[in-house]
Structure 1
Amino acid sequence: MMQIRHDWTKEEILAIYNKPFLDLVYEAASIHRANNDYSEVQISSLVSIKTGGCPEDCSYCPQAARYHTDIEVQAMMKVEDVVSLAQKAKDGGASRLCMGAAWREVRDNRDFDKVVDMVKAVNEMDMEVCCTLGMLNAHQAQRLADAGLYAYNHNLDTSEEDYNRIISTRTYNDRLETIENVRKANLTVCSGGIIGLGETVDDRVAMLQVLANMPKHPESVPVNALVPVKGTPLQDQPRVEIWDMVRMIATARIIMPKSAVRLSAGRNEMSVLEQAFCFMAGANSIFAGDKLLTTPNPAFSDDLAMFELLGLRTREAFKNGRPQQTQPLAAAE
């Protein structure tokens, strides 16, 4: 079993990424089998609880208010509607529900109170609950933890060097601070990035290095392929080659042996054979359901048919146990 490291150099990671393709997949598959149940894949379902109207300028995102896309701004969903979607997802084989809101940051208001109620309700269904709500402070993270949140997603997107080309409305450090606040509340971290933004291989490697050298590896590392959306600055980006996706997944698997590596956005464009390569290279988590926030995604029935074909099983919730919660922080002044 490979030793868990937190001191990877860019040169080491680049050498892994650039290995001959079949050698890379073989090494990643071997490490995956030594550290995980390779036939088990977690299914997560992603629900947009508040859609559109975001003040940020993320170049890839159709929910940014400044871009003219087909996304209609929708108010916060009702708790009972989220519970209904969660039940549908659970019936389809999902063991985690991720709730996303198009916010720059969490604000202490009635909408956040409603999110806390959603977390409590879905947690009571014995599903892992994940949220992606933008930046949040330590007290907000603790409040979510107290409500039963299991994971918080906050992607790095790309390298620190490339970051300002993609987003100008928040800094790379803002993202790292949010992840630190999530850790302080003893929540599990879900953090990865997007390829196909026009970044270089060095940018991809630099992003993986930041994740792999965190004091504790993210429990979940999503690898997203850009889905270009008309009306966004990256609308004309070419589709990511499957070879690039497999290289990213394999490299992430080798340097973060025990993390769940999540085959995320862009899967709708992949054949079953292409996805099989991703699973062989170490992907052991997917998003399922008709939509990934606002972009198309394979249906549960298609995924379960693929699982049967490939001999994969769905992973149950809380396989690694529930997080040990810290003592609540003192109330904010």
Structure 2
Amino acid sequence: MQTEIRTNWTLEEVKSIYDTPLLELVFNAATLHRKYNDTAEVQVCTLLSIKTGGCSEDCAYCPQAARYNTGVNVQALMKKEEVLSYAQKAKDAGSTRFCMGAAWREVRDNRDFDRVLEMVKDVNEMGMEVCCTLGMLTEEQAKKLADAGLYAYNHNLDTSKEHYGEIITTRTYEDRLETLDHVRKAGVTVCCGGIIGLGETHEDRINMLHTLATLPEHPESVPINALVPIAGTPLEHNHKVDVWDMVRMIATARVLMPATMVRLSAGRTDMSTAEQALCFMAGANSIFAGDKLLTTPNPSFEEDNAMFSLLGLKPREAFKAEKQYLSEMVNG
């Protein structure tokens, strides 16, 4: 079994890992997970929609697209005080990363962006890792976010390049990769994963994982989402993702990117504690906590605390990687 971190995986190697018999794949992933991470630690993140609905994109899974009638009400950008109050509640409940999402196609240099920069600065000062997902970014905008104290930027690939046009037509796969490049150049950590259950093939899943694992640097965080079908979207009748598909995706991601935070993201409300435990065993070490993921349901803090207690898990502290690096510099 490969044990070093590498970014030169071939498509054939990724397929071979993905196609490994499931129990052996989980064992291999768990072994690597133990080597690179504290398996008792799970990063607890909270995601808040700071600007909801009315998006001009046509992402086929998204209830916030203006062109679909999904019952999501358009809301303007939240006031900073409301956002900070929500961040404090999340911190008090055990979250160490706070992510703010805005239903924008791209960031525009206007008063709303200036307000987001203030939010980033203030959440950072609370001692939380602050993340944003705001759509496409220019290099200059990424730099402004970094200067404000942004720790991470989420911009998912969603699916493979080959399947992408079936899901989104209002921007290209290259647009996504370009934004990731701008984020990386600004010195902000990258959060980038995808969604399964979009009608893709296993080859599409393999291709997406290959793209993630062969970026110049692995994303520091890779969310694996199961589609939550929303009435009114083109994918409202898609079937529920099988838990074994989630386990296989998480285990493959862990083998390919051993030191990355692999996040068990959307779809947890449909998973039992036992099924989530399998995902943690397969290498997941990050979750979103709180009642909602933007506009879709999510387990409550209380439910997650009970699960952590049962499984012997603890929240990962904020800025752990940076603290370890500084400690090694001082003591090395």
| TM-score, length basis structure 2 | 0.96
Q: For residue 79 of structure 1, what is the aligned residue in structure 2?
A: 80
Q: For residue 91 of structure 2, what is the aligned residue in structure 1?
A: 90
Counterpart amino acid of residue 298 in structure 2: N
Counterpart amino acid of residue 86 in structure 1: A
How far is 1:190 from its partner? 0.1
Q: For residue 64 of structure 1, what is the aligned residue in structure 2?
A: 65
The answer to whether 1:284 aligns with 2:288 is no
Q: For residue 124 of structure 1, what is the aligned residue in structure 2?
A: 125
Counterpart CA distance in 2 for 1:245 and 1:26 is: 15
Q: For residue 209 of structure 1, what is the aligned residue in structure 2?
A: 210
Deviations 1:115-172 (Å, cap 9, x if unpaired)?
Answer: 0010011000000000000000000000000000000000000000110000000000
Q: For residue 275 of structure 2, what is the aligned residue in structure 1?
A: 274
Q: For residue 105 of structure 2, what is the aligned residue in structure 1?
A: 104
The answer to whether 1:186 aligns with 2:187 is yes
Counterpart CA distance in 1 for 2:115 and 2:269 is: 31
Percent identity among equivalent residues?
68
Counterpart CA distance in 1 for 2:82 and 2:3 is: 44
Counterpart CA distance in 1 for 2:216 and 2:243 is: 31
Counterpart CA distance in 1 for 2:168 and 2:18 is: 26
Counterpart CA distance in 2 for 1:270 and 1:85 is: 26
Q: For residue 331 of structure 1, what is the aligned residue in structure 2?
A: none
Report SS of the residue matched to 2:285: strand
How far is 1:259 from its partner? 0.3
The answer to whether 1:53 aligns with 2:47 is no
How far is 1:14 from its partner? 1.2
How far is 1:316 from its partner? 0.7
Counterpart CA distance in 1 for 2:19 and 2:214 is: 20
Counterpart CA distance in 1 for 2:67 and 2:317 is: 40
Q: For residue 154 of structure 1, what is the aligned residue in structure 2?
A: 155
Mind listing any 5+ residue stretches in structure 1 that lack a counterpart? 325-333
How far is 1:112 from its partner? 0.2
Mind listing any 5+ residue stretches in structure 2 that lack a counterpart? 326-332
The ranges of structure 1 where at least 4 consecutive aligned residues each deviate by more than 6 angstroms after the TM superposition are none
Counterpart amino acid of residue 50 in structure 2: I
Counterpart CA distance in 2 for 1:321 and 1:223 is: 24
Counterpart CA distance in 2 for 1:102 and 1:243 is: 31
Counterpart CA distance in 1 for 2:76 and 2:105 is: 15
Counterpart CA distance in 2 for 1:191 and 1:46 is: 15
Deviations 1:256-291 (Å, cap 9, x if unpaired)?
Answer: 000000000001110000000000000000000000
Q: For residue 255 of structure 2, what is the aligned residue in structure 1?
A: 254
Counterpart CA distance in 2 for 1:194 and 1:120 is: 30
Counterpart CA distance in 1 for 2:41 and 2:31 is: 15
Counterpart CA distance in 2 for 1:188 and 1:216 is: 10
Counterpart CA distance in 2 for 1:118 and 1:228 is: 31
How far is 1:27 from its partner? 0.5
Q: For residue 242 of structure 2, what is the aligned residue in structure 1?
A: 241
Report SS of the residue matched to 1:93: coil
| Higher relative helix content | 2
Figure out how many residues of one structure are paired with residues of the other and give that number. 324
Report SS of the residue matched to 1:67: coil
Q: For residue 328 of structure 2, what is the aligned residue in structure 1?
A: none
Counterpart CA distance in 1 for 2:188 and 2:22 is: 35
Report SS of the residue matched to 1:320: helix
Counterpart CA distance in 1 for 2:61 and 2:226 is: 11
Counterpart CA distance in 2 for 1:120 and 1:187 is: 14
Q: For residue 330 of structure 2, what is the aligned residue in structure 1?
A: none
Report SS of the residue matched to 2:23: helix
Counterpart amino acid of residue 73 in structure 1: V
How far is 1:15 from its partner? 1.2
Counterpart amino acid of residue 228 in structure 2: V
Counterpart CA distance in 1 for 2:99 and 2:44 is: 11
Counterpart amino acid of residue 114 in structure 2: D
How far is 1:208 from its partner? 0.6
Point out the more displaced range, 13-22 or 231-240. Answer: 13-22
The answer to whether 1:4 aligns with 2:5 is yes
| TM-score, length basis structure 1 | 0.96
Counterpart amino acid of residue 21 in structure 1: L
Report SS of the residue matched to 1:321: helix
Q: For residue 30 of structure 2, what is the aligned residue in structure 1?
A: 29
Counterpart CA distance in 2 for 1:68 and 1:41 is: 36
The two structures, once aligned, show a CA RMSD in angstroms of: 1.2
Deviations 1:81-122 (Å, cap 9, x if unpaired)?
Answer: 000000000011100000000000000000000100100110
Counterpart CA distance in 2 for 1:221 and 1:12 is: 19
The answer to whether 1:221 aligns with 2:222 is yes
Counterpart CA distance in 1 for 2:19 and 2:246 is: 13
Deviations 1:52-72 (Å, cap 9, x if unpaired)?
Answer: 000000000000000000100
